[in-house]
Structure 1
Amino acid sequence: MNFDNIEFLPLDQTYQLVQGFSCGDNWIDGYLKQPNNALFDHNLGISSTTTLMYEGEVIAFFTANCSHLEIPMEEAREIGLQDDLFIPAIEVKFLGVRTDLKQIGIGTYLLQFIIGKVLEITPIFTCRYIFLWSVEDKVKYYQNRYFQTTGKEENGLHLMKFLVPTYFTIEE
Structure 2
Amino acid sequence: MNLEKIEFLPLDKTYHLVQGFSCGNSMIDTYIKLSSNAIYDHKMGISSTTTLIYENEITAYFTANCAHLEIPVEEAREIGLMDSFYIPAIEVKYIGVKDKYQKKGIGSLLLKFIVGKALEITPFFTCRYIFLWAVEDAIEFYQKRYFKLTGKEEDGLYLMKFLVPTYPIEEEI
Q: TM-score, normalised by structure 2?
A: 0.97
Residue 106, structure 1, aligned to residue 78, structure 2: no
Percent of aligned pairs sharing the same letter: 67
Query: Structure 2: how far apart are the matches of 1:46 and 1:75?
Result: 29
Query: Structure 2: how far apart are the matches of 1:28 and 1:111?
Result: 17
Query: Structure 1: how far apart are the matches of 2:108 and 2:50?
Result: 16
Task: Give 1:50's aligned residue.
Answer: 50
Shift of 1:14: 1.0
Residue 148, structure 1, aligned to residue 148, structure 2: yes
Query: Structure 1: how far apart are the matches of 2:110 and 2:134?
Result: 14
Task: Give 2:93's aligned residue.
Answer: 93
Shift of 1:80: 1.6
AA matched with 2:5: N
Question: Any idea what SS the aligned residue of 1:19 has?
Answer: helix
Query: Structure 1: how far apart are the matches of 2:18 and 2:44?
Result: 19
Moved over 2 A (4+): none
5+ long unaligned stretches in structure 2 = none
Aligned residue runs from structure 1 range 66-77, under 5 A: 66-77=66-77
5+ long unaligned stretches in structure 1 = none
Question: Any idea what SS the aligned residue of 1:145 has?
Answer: coil
Aligned residue runs from structure 1 range 130-141, under 5 A: 130-141=130-141
Query: Structure 1: how far apart are the matches of 2:137 and 2:49?
Result: 23
What are the Cα deviations for residues 128-149 of structure 1, in whole angstroms up to 9, with x where unaligned? 0000000001011111110010
Aligned residue runs from structure 1 range 25-40, under 5 A: 25-40=25-40
Task: Give 2:23's aligned residue.
Answer: 23
Query: Structure 1: how far apart are the matches of 2:34 and 2:160?
Result: 25
